[in-house]
């Protein structure tokens, strides 16, 4: 979208809000709130300077962390609703955006194949996971919540917060998993669909039968990978579809629209397959609910105040980019995924870079082939490539570094020396559709930088 098209959208949002205000008798803004135009302009100009200290998240040259700007539609819709500032804690805080929230959450639930559900937006994936784990603990107060070493660190921490028994267990090792499940002390398994580190999809379709056999619940943390479900349902999927096709059998699911859903930060989502878990949320607040007898989002959410503007932004975005494989969000994810596939092909014939693991989604992990393959040499070279790429004056390139256990590196060479416990490798999140065409440039440049360093 061009700058002038974006301005038109923002302008339409301002006009729409003026129209809303005009429904009530006119009022004067109080003097205490006034700031001169000159002063506001100067403050914003100073802020603009300060904001220059940022990485170009919008540009395909930024291939570091899971960060990209929201779609202009989302920003315009957020701005439009923010002028009213509805609070989706309760229907009374913003009837319109509460309805929008129920609609978008319904669309997401449908994408996963839930026929019934209870769910809501949250301010983050962390909070959404907290709620899912809290319900897990409420259902099995004496049993453990188990998560893989590669699960997001939030699971361990949140288990501490809610005082739940927890254990780290490689849920992808089915033999080990069954041995543990047999003991009967696990109540819920966390399965990650798109790990934050490597974007790996854990084999949910293999884990699920075991969980059923032993009566264990499953929470799917799809914060990063959830929207790839769209591609799994396409006629010729370009990802392994199996884990995604059984998501509807999981007891709870978390997804982050502020990662792959084109949203600004402040938008996570938690869903439960069994709507009756709402009973765990029940509380009586004397002052929040008084006009409505319908479902209050605040009654099924641990957070209180939450931006109604988030729901408005997601609603508008999903109108423009429906949750479909063949149009809307699907084709965007197809490109990010394709970028990773192209990367993987390019690196397979490289004499300078080694692929750490095949990408399941759109995150690639790789490391320089140092003359002596040791954890310390690879880590040092990784560090130099990372900083050289970022700090060169012409065409900087932004990557991320990622620490893996050195024991996992032995498979690349019989000569590998694990002289330090963790090895730093390079990580690139190719989460913008523009990465599809830019990935060859990134690969060429990283190869050249690595070649000059090694
Ligand atoms: C990002 C992420 C989280 C944490 O979500 P936030 O929105 O950053 O709080 C949890 N789990 C996974 C798998 C993630 O990728």
pLDDT at 286: 57
In this structure, the strands spanning 268-272 and 252-255 are antiparallel
- Residue 194 CA: nearest ligand 1 atom is 13
What is the fold, at CATH topology level, of the domain defined by 95-283+296-320? 3.40.640
| 354-404 pLDDT, tens digit each | 999 999 999 999 999 999 999 999 999 999 999 999 999 999 999 999 999
Distance 69 CA to ligand 1 centre (A): 17
Q: Is 295's pLDDT higher than 70?
A: no
Q: What is the mean pLDDT of the chain?
A: 95
pLDDT band (50, 70, 90) for residue 284: low
What is the residue-wise DSSP string for 139-150?
HSTTSEEEE-TT
* Centroid of chain to Cα 142: 30
Q: What pLDDT does 91 receive?
A: 78
228 neighbors 363 (Cβ within 8 angstroms): no
Q: What is the pLDDT of residues 39-65, one digit of tens each?
A: 999 999 999 999 999 999 999 999 999
The answer to whether 95-283+296-320 and 329-453 have equal CATH topology is no
- 93: CA distance to ligand 1 center in Å? 27
Which residue's CA is the nearest one to ligand 1's atom 8?
125
329-453 placed in CATH 3.30.479.10: no
| Pocket residues: Cβ below 6 A from ligand 1 | 124-126, 129, 152, 154, 192, 196, 221, 223-224, 256, 268
CA of 377 to the centre of ligand 1 (A): 31
pLDDT for 141 beyond 70? yes
Say yes or no to pLDDT of 292 above 80.
Answer: no
Q: pLDDT for 82-129, tens place per residue?
A: 999 999 988 788 999 999 999 999 999 999 999 999 999 999 999 999
pLDDT at 281: 85
Q: Kindly tell me if the per-residue pLDDT of 296 is higher than 70.
A: no
Query: 357: burial class by Cβ within 10 Å (0-12, 13-18, 19+)?
Result: middle
Please name the residue whose Cα sits nearest to atom 3 of ligand 1.
125
pLDDT in the model for residue 290: 45
How far apart are alpha carbons 353 and 413 in whole angstroms? 14
Kindly list the domain boundaries of the chain, sorted by start residue.
95-283+296-320, 329-453
Count of Cβ atoms closer than 10 Å to residue 83 Cβ: 14
Q: Which atom of ligand 1 is nearest to the CA of 129?
A: 10
For residue 196, the CA-to-ligand 1 centroid distance in Å is: 7
Average pLDDT over residues 250-272: 98
């Amino acid at each position: 979208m061009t700058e002038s098209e974006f301005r038109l959208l923002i302008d339409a949002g301002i006009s729409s809000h003026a129209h809303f205000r005009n429904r009530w008798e006119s009022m004067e803004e109080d003097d205490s709130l006034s700031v001169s135009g000159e002063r506001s302009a100067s403050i914003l100009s100073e802020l603009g300077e300060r904001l220059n200290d940022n990485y170009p998240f919008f540009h395909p040259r930024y291939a570091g962390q899971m960060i990209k700007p929201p779609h202009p539609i989302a920003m315009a819709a957020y701005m439009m609703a923010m002028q009213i500032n509805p609070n989706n804690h309760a229907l009374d805080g913003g009837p319109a955006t509460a309805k929008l929230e129920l609609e978008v959450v319904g669309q997401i639930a449908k994408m996963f194949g839930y026929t019934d559900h209870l769910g809501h937006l949250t301010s983050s994936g962390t909070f959404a996971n907290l709620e899912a784990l809290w319900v897990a603990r409420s259902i099995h107060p004496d049993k453990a919540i188990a998560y893989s070493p590669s699960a997001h660190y939030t699971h361990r921490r949140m288990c501490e917060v809610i005082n739940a028994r927890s254990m780290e267990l490689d849920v992808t090792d089915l033999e080990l998993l069954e041995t543990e499940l047999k003991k009967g002390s696990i109540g819920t398994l966390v399965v990650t669909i798109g790990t934050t580190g490597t974007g790996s999809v854990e084999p949910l379709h293999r884990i699920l039968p075991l969980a059923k056999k032993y009566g264990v619940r499953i929470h799917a943390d799809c914060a990063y990978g959830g929207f790839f479900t769209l591609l799994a349902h396409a006629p010729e999927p370009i990802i392994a579809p199996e884990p995604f096709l059984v998501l509807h059998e999981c007891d709870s699911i978390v997804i982050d629209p502020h990662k792959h859903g084109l949203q600004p930060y402040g938008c996570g989502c938690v869903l439960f397959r069994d709507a009756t878990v709402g009973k765990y949320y029940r509380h009586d607040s004397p002052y929040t609910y008084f006009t409505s007898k319908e479902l209050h989002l605040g009654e099924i959410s641990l957070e209180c105040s939450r931006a109604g503007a988030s729901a408005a932004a997601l609603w508008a975005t999903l109108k423009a980019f429906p949750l479909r494989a063949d149009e809307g969000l699907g084709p965007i994810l197809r490109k990010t995924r394709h970028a990773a596939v192209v990367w993987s092909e390019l690196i397979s014939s490289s004499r300078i870079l080694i692929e750490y693991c095949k990408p399941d989604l759109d995150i690639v992990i790789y490391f320089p082939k140092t003359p002596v393959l040791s954890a310390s040499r690879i880590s040092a070279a990784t560090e130099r490539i990372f900083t050289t790429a970022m700090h060169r004056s012409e065409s900087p390139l932004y990557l991320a570094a990622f620490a893996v256990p050195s024991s996992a590196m032995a498979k690349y060479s019989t000569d590998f020396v694990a002289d330090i416990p963790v090895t730093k490798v390079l990580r690139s999140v190719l989460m913008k559709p523009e990465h599809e065409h830019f990935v060859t440039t990134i690969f060429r440049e990283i190869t050249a930088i690595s070649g000059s360093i090694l």
